[in-house]
Amino acid sequence: MLNRPVTTLFMMMSADGKISTGASDELDFDRDLPLIKGVKEGLHQYYEIEQTTDLFSFNTGRVMAKTGVNEKPMPAKTPVSFVIADNTHLTDHGIAYLCAKSKDFNLITSNQNHPAFRIKENNLHIIYQETTDLQDAFRILKEQYGCERLTVQSGGTMNSLLLKEDLIDYADLIIAPLFVSGKDTPTLIDGQPLLSRNELGSLRPLKLISCDMLEDSWLRLRYQVIRLK
């Protein structure tokens, strides 16, 4: 039995593996895909599937800041418990916003001066670590906060770290029918590239669980990540 939540990487990406329309934070799938004819017609399917994901959702402060949580007006409460890894991107308002939106808001940080320490909300739980240890943080999520299953929707760099730590069990990928291109455009899994064949052992094979053709040329691919240890 795992001493951490069972995790699923749930992401929308282009047919060439991009998770944004470009390398600038001004460019974003949520804002831009509704503008693209031939893509926007099937976009609703992603949001409909997203509504069926786990009630614990993992992301990063950088992604949350990009979506505007540091400026948005207070939201309505949702049944989702958010788990956010952040050291520098969230402001007092961003923390208050996520507390207002979450059933429980769990912050993972190694910044002892994070603004979350100034916020007094009953549903705010801070997992402070002197050095970030995602394995231990996920263990705490399960043992102390009852997180049995966790949906991951973070950026390519964090996804790469989670994969290297063997913290991704499944991938549920929604493929949008377009090419984005651009070597600096974020991809599903970023991080450092391999430099030699000696590093091939760090790659993670996948076992296909299902492949569904959605409407308007969209696809849904579900995989299990094969453990090599």
Mean pLDDT of 59-66: 96
- Does the residue 39 lie in any domain? yes
Mean pLDDT of 155-184: 96
- Does the residue 103 lie in any domain? yes
- Does the residue 1 lie in any domain? no
In this structure, what token pair is assigned to residue 138?
């996920």
If you average pLDDT over every residue of the chain, what do you get? 96
Residue 70: partners with Cβ closer than 8 Å, 6 or more residues away: 90, 91, 93, 94, 97
- Does the residue 24 lie in any domain? yes
Confidence of residue 229 (pLDDT cuts 50, 70, 90): low
- Does the residue 83 lie in any domain? yes
3-state secondary structure 78-125: CCCEEEEECCCCCCHHHHHHHHHHCCCEEEEECCCCCHHHHCCCCCEE
CATH code of the domain containing 49: 3.40.430.10
Q: What pLDDT digit, counting tens, does each position of 3-61 carry?
A: 999 999 999 999 999 999 999 989 999 999 999 999 999 999 999 999 999 999 999 99
Confidence of residue 193 (pLDDT cuts 50, 70, 90): confident
- Domain span at 75: 6-225
Q: What is the percent of the chain with per-residue pLDDT over 70, rounded to a whole number?
A: 99
What's the structural domain count of the chain?
Answer: 1
Is 171 within 8 Å of 228 (Cβ atoms)?
Answer: no
Confidence of residue 146 (pLDDT cuts 50, 70, 90): very high
- Does the residue 108 lie in any domain? yes
Of 193 and 153, which is predicted with more confidence?
153
Q: What is the percent of the chain with per-residue pLDDT over 90, rounded to a whole number?
A: 92
Judge whether residue 191 has pLDDT over 90. no
Q: What pLDDT digit, counting tens, does each position of 72-91 carry?
A: 999 999 999 999 999 999 99
